[in-house]
Structure 1
């Protein structure tokens, strides 16, 4: 293998690696939101046990928020796996001088679709949180 090939492989893999870093940051945000949802739900449950009442609508919204956040995290995890496969395929393509375009393109498109779906789940969760807050104010 030529040193130029290794350098080219590394150059090609830089952009997807930055994308992985951004996805990692988004996963961190989602994890923080999930922790807050769970903590608040526990507080509501404790309050319900003391007062004997809890709005069923509020419980449903917290359940939906948790499900959406978990779904977004699962989709982002799948996205990271696909992007990692893209980086590996690009690296192998350069190192072994193979044309893996037919592999890389569908993997990358699939990763972007999963990223969009995760973003939509995140948006919906934020909308539910805002709706819940508006009801409290």
Structure 2
């Protein structure tokens, strides 16, 4: 009867995959924030574009400048979303790899560790893009108040 060792192996793999699953939850929350910010940026750009024809020539230059800044913010958020999504995908591959390794009785620890490091680097890149977008948004808001 071999079901006992197989069940304990699966239980061990599940225990090892709990931390990456919690990481997926955190990355999902970050993605939600990023997508909300992107939606607000797109909404603001649409409002400015709709009123661009109604604005006087001096106001049109300011509107175009704001559209340029919103475009930069959209690119930063898009990059952050892409990086965080890649991070989440890599974490999913790590979890799947752990299970495949357990079922096939193959040592996948080196590959899993390497993929996890890449996942963390992608997450760091996404968070840096998010931070840069926030700095740009704050700088734009301060310039608008002056």
Q: TM-score, normalised by structure 1?
A: 0.94
In structure 2, list runs of 5 or more residues that go unmatched: none
CA distance in 1, matches of 2:23, 2:61: 42
The residue that corresponds to 1:44 in the other structure is 48
- How far apart, CA to CA, are the structure 2 residues paired with 1:50 and 1:117? 40
TM-superposed CA distance for 1:59, in Å, is 1.9
Whether the aligned pair in 2 keeps the contact of 1:9 and 1:95 (CA below 8 Å) is no
Partners of 1:124 and 1:45 in 2: how far apart? 24
Residues 61-80 of structure 1: pairs in structure 2 closer than 5 A:
61-80=69-88
Q: Indicate the residue corresponding to 2:27 in structure 1.
A: 23
Whether 2:19 is the aligned partner of 1:11: answer: no
CA contact (8 A) 1:8 1:94 kept: no
Aligned to 1:49, the other structure's residue is in SS state coil
Query: By how many angstroms is 1:61 displaced?
Result: 1.0
Deviation of 1:54 (Å): 3.8
| CA distance in 2: counterparts of 1:37 and 1:70, whole angstroms | 11
| Greater Cα radius of gyration, structure 1 or 2 | 2
- Larger RCO: Structure 1 or Structure 2 (Cα < 8 Å, ≥ 6 residues apart)? 1
Tell me the equivalent position of 2:109: 101
